[in-house]
Amino acid sequence: EAGVTQFPSHSVIEKGQTVTLRCDPISGHDNLYWYRRVMGKEIKFLLHFVKESKQDESGMPNNRFLAERTGGTYSTLKVQPAELEDSGVYFCASSTGIFDNEQFFGPGTRLTVL
Amino acid sequence: DQQVKQNSPSLSVQEGRISILNCDYTNSMFDYFLWYKKYPAEGPTFLISISSIKDKNEDGRFTVFLNKSAKHLSLHIVPSQPGDSAVYFCAAKRLGSNYKLTFGKGTLLTVNP
């Protein structure tokens, strides 16, 4: 069974540009999460989808971040316009609909904003 | 305001000895705790968990202890192996849900041969 995949693995952009990150969860997983780790800090929650609906977006930093999960399959996270403080590693995770089941993480996308 | 704290950024132990990683939490709503292990350029992978109704959970070389009154948990690895060298994250959530995980900053464990 394929794990959670993320694309791209690395992205280097300039301040003010737009970047779109993609996450493909494990097939059949209803729950999809986005997290971010800024260098040296904790992994912080951004938002949670249940199928195509946003269940919790309390961690989204501001309205420059837009997440979508059309059709309840893959998800995208767009940052527009990117700022220097957006640099970090963005992780996607997925889990089944059963409560407390393990969240499986993807390898992350390392975003560098210059 | 960090709700999950791992106060040791790094830990170095000899192969075969015990590794003890510590974690403290402040939010009384947390009742399910997890440890994740992370290698460079990979995502975190689940290692072991414990719910607040228990004070110990064991899986092979890994044991997690929970002290609810102190809001403290620890991960014991015995015996430690060089392949255990990784960043270990403590995480917490509310049981009975698919709520988000709240993570600590991680502890880099180095196991020396």
Q: Among partner residues B97, B102, B104, which is closest to A99 by beta-carbon distance? A: B97
The two tokens of residue A29 are: 């997983």
Do residues A35 and A45 make contact, with C-beta atoms less than 8 angstroms apart? yes
Parallel, antiparallel or unpaired: strands A88-95 and A109-113: antiparallel
Parallel, antiparallel or unpaired: strands B86-93 and B102-103: antiparallel
* pLDDT recorded at residue A32: 96
Nearest residue in chain B measured CA to CA from A106: B43
For the ranges A5-19, A84-98, B71-85, the lowest mean pLDDT is seen at: A84-98
Is A33 close to B4, i.e. CB distance below 8 A? no
Q: What is the mean pLDDT of residues B92-102?
A: 85
* pLDDT recorded at residue B96: 74
**Chain segment A23-70, per-residue pLDDT in tens:** 999 999 999 999 999 988 899 999 999 999 999 999 999 999 999 998
- Among residues A47, A43, A63, which one has the least CA distance to residue A55? A47
Beta-carbon-side half-sphere exposure of residue B40 (alpha carbons within 13 Å):
5
Phi (first) and psi of residue B84, to 5 degrees: -80, -10
* pLDDT recorded at residue A70: 85
d(CA A62, CA A74): 22
Would you say residue A101 has pLDDT above 80? Answer: no
> B80 to chain A nearest CA, in Å?
24
Is A104 close to B97, i.e. CB distance below 8 A? no
- Per CB-CB distance under 8 Å, the chain A contacts of B101 are 33, 35, 43, 45, 103
Flag whether residue B1 sits within 8 Å of chain A, measured between CB atoms. Answer: no
Q: Would you say how long chain B is, in residues?
A: 113
**Chain segment B17-56, per-residue pLDDT in tens:** 999 999 999 999 999 999 999 999 999 999 999 999 999 9
* pLDDT recorded at residue A22: 98
- Per CB-CB distance under 8 Å, the chain B contacts of A53 are none
d(CA A30, CA B32): 21
